[in-house]
Structure 1
Amino acid sequence: MHATNIVIAVSLAAAPSAFSDMSLTRPARWIEHDIAINQLSIDHKSSLPIGGRFICSVEQDEDRMVKALVKKGLSVADSDQCEIIAFQRVSTDVVNVRETIGYMLQIAGELDYRLISVEAGDFESGNATILASEEGYIPWWQKTAPTSN
């Protein structure tokens, strides 16, 4: 039993070194934007690309991240300066959209990436809809943070 306590103590001591800059890897709070999710299923009856904006942390490299995201079944739409947009084509019903948001969060957690938003639509042109994001995240094409209900 004493050995188990040592292992737990070691793993807790190692955790901060895995994220030397916590602000780059973990958001303070994650918000699903219910109005946008519900509206998406009303406006689009088929499917859309839904993607996550993943950000590198200090010790990660972009090429390795792209390979890992592709291995998880995502397509990469864009990658530049350690921001990677990886997506799946998803049926726009609310259940599938929420499951995709959950999957993006799961991937980010498993791979120790920072996920700043999950979006639907055209990611590069600014015609995307923010479905979920870090609290206070403002995409480059908006002046204010998305609202939730």
Structure 2
Amino acid sequence: MENAIFEIVQQWRSEEVKLHPGVLLPSIQGVEKMIGFIFPVEFKELYTQVDGFADFDMRENMFSIWPLGVIVDEYERDDDKEYVGFSDYLIHSHSIGFLKGRAGIFKNYGRGEYILIANSFIEAIQLINSDAAIIY
């Protein structure tokens, strides 16, 4: 998993995506308590390296990976407390995130319908980085 995270971060750097520095594990744990959701280990490993994209930057495919602060803001703003987003397309055309109590990563168009796109967080990030059709 460490190699996958290294490759993800290297790709973002080579694409000159603006990145926030990583956060400490206690910050992630504080967010977990706040939203009532335990992030998978791979999420924690990535976010201790990079806390999402800075300045609302996005990849060339128009996807952005949210910093923890945006994850919390979006969670608090959304009426659906079962969904925890971490990425969006084209300034919130749709988002990608977790569903509490369900395995996998889901696409959410904001209509209460969730579409499974990946089995793991790292797989979802790799799909975003490879511009896979399923993320749209």
TM-score (norm 1): 0.27
Q: Whose Rg is larger?
A: 1
**Which has the bigger relative contact order, CA under 8 A and spacing at least 6?**
1
TM-score (norm 2): 0.29
